[in-house]
């Protein structure tokens, strides 16, 4: 399971594996997983990445994130 949260310094959405103690953001801040607010949970890394891209694109239109393609099942 993966946890989606926001960086406590810059507000960027990130994900980390459940049970991980810290996660470093691209801004350089080390987030203590005991202190962050969990936004969502994901079953696997791919789903966590899609959620982060969606939330980040929604937050900032010009950040360089593109909307993820919807999954196709066939």
Tell me the pLDDT tens digit for each residue of 5-53: 999 999 999 999 999 999 999 999 999 999 999 999 999 999 999 999 9
CATH architecture of 2-59: Alpha-Beta Complex (3.90)
pLDDT of 70 higher than 80 = no
Hey, which bits of 1-74 come out as E strands? 2-6, 13-17, 22-24, 30-32, 38-42
pLDDT of 65 higher than 90 = no
Average confidence (pLDDT) over 2-6: 97
Return the domain boundaries, the chain: 2-59
Average confidence (pLDDT) over 62-72: 58
* Pairing assessment for the beta strands 30-32 and 38-42 based on DSSP bridges: unpaired
Positive or negative torsion for Cα 20, 66, 7, 29:
positive
- The whole-number pLDDT of residue 59 equals 75
Using alpha carbons, select from 12, 6, 4, 1 the residue that is nearest to residue 51.
Answer: 4
């Amino acid at each position: 399971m993966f946890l989606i949260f926001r960086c406590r310094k810059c507000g960027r959405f990130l994900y980390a594996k459940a049970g991980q103690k810290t996660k470093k953001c691209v801004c350089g801040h080390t987030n203590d997983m005991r202190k962050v607010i969990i936004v969502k949970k994901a079953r696997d890394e791919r789903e966590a990445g899609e959620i982060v891209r969606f939330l980040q694109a929604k937050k900032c239109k010009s950040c360089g994130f593109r909307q993820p393609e919807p999954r196709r099942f066939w």
